[in-house]
Amino acid sequence: MADPNPPQISRVPAAPRPGVRPVARPVVAVPHAAPVVPVAAVAMPVGEAQPLAVVEVVAEPEPVHVLAHVDEYLRTGQESLASDIHLGVNSVPVWRRNGILGPVWSPADKLTSADTERLAMGFLTDAQKQMLAERGDVDFAYATDFGRFRASVVRHRLGIDVVFRIVSTSVRSMDQLGLPESLKMLTQYHNGLVLVTGSVGSGKSTTLAALVDEVNKTRHDHIITLEDPIEYVIESKGCHVTQREVHTHTKSFGAALRGALREDPDVIMVGEMRDLETISLAITASETGHLVMGTLHTGSAARTLDRVLDVFPIDQREQIRVMVSESLRGIISQQLIPRKDGQGRALALEILTNTPAVGNLIREAKTYMLPGVMQTGKKQGMKLMDDSLIELYDAGLISQEEAYARAEQKALMRHHFAH
């Protein structure tokens, strides 16, 4: 006769652990209403029979031990679509996936200072070891047979930390990145300044590489890239491409830019415009018949222009405003926002293109009025960051909380949510 009260199954799943075999999980039969207890302590009910629940008790997995070489961590991160790998003293191995930092495995052994030093010395060259000893930090591009990575090794109070940025092995096109068609216009100029801005990890290097790739495919020019370090390897297509790495092929961005002007370039890509010398040389190059593309760590078009102008002494700013108002071609400010479904991140863009109205505001030092001009310049391809956030929210790609937290005009965003 069939049991009128068949056992109910409750399962406690084990956390996924890349590269680790699952642990066997014994099954124990206990009363449905009773708590989960060891087999020997189960007391059978007296009197009327009670329904049983079969509870799958998950055995505690063994911690993942420290791996032999950094390549093993990098392969795991690459296969799991992580963007960064952190190997730090007194910490378990950590990665960043979809913009969120978390442990690679749980549980896992914490790395000791001896572990991180062994891992670092296992892949640094003699020259890099010497630089680490002299400066206390070293940044460079690290290549393996399965990928390219941006490596940063630093010495600190507890020992040595190693951080890797995982770089895509191929340059993605503007279409693959979902960049607006109007941005292709920025790659058609033969002189001027194009800036890609955003915080660390916002995808600036990927966007800049896509712009350079568009030039490489559609023109027949000489492209020089100045990077620290070289991330994407760009093969020559229609153009001849020269890639130089700061601290490896040249002393600084400033020195590389001065040298580039004597190498018959048409397009110069500056990986980071971080100081007065580099910014000044980039503006000069953009005025002397070169298309210059660069990056800054600013969050909006208006703040980007303020940052460019503020590095100059006060007595030079009026002249620089005039130069920038004439040479600027466009500014792309971007953010990568965790998707609502947890499947990656969505790209939010603010786009400024130079028009007579924009140039006039730059000359008159009225950059605070740029958002108003951008609001009315949609036909010229301009877009405010808040409008991009609203589009992503309305499409169901990002949450209300993310859209509100990143909005410039909080009141307008609340009003949009209410309607």
Q: Render pLDDT for 107-154 as a digit per residue (tens, 0 to 9).
A: 999 999 999 999 999 999 999 999 999 999 999 989 999 999 999 999
Same domain? For 154 and 180 the reply is no
Query: Where are the alpha helices (H) located in 220-291, listed in sequence order?
Result: 253-260, 276-287
- For 254-293, the pLDDT digits (tens) are 899 999 999 999 999 999 898 999 999 999 999 999 999 9
Q: Are residues 188 and 265 in the same domain?
A: yes
Show the domain range for 2.
1-59
Same domain? For 232 and 282 the reply is yes
For position 152, which CATH number holds? Answer: 3.30.450.90
CA distance 19 to 78: 13
Say if residue 31 is in the same domain as residue 101.
no
Last residue of a domain, one of 121, 139, 167: 167
Q: Is the pLDDT of residue 365 over 80?
A: yes
CA distance 265 to 418: 53
Same domain membership, residue 141 and residue 12: no
131 and 26 both lie in a single domain: no
Number of separate domains in the chain: 3
Closest listed residue to residue 190, CA positions, set 261, 268, 260? 268
CA distances for 408 relative to 34, 60, 99, 298, 307, angstroms: 54, 47, 21, 14, 18
- Asked if 342 and 357 sit in the same domain, the reply is yes
Average pLDDT, the chain: 87
Residues 213, 75 share a domain:
no
Query: What SS3 state is found at 240?
Result: strand
Do 50 and 76 fall into the same domain? no
> pLDDT of 320-363, one tens digit each?
999 999 999 999 999 999 999 988 899 999 999 999 999 999 99
Note whether 203 and 264 are same-domain residues: yes
The answer to whether residue 65 is domain-embedded is no
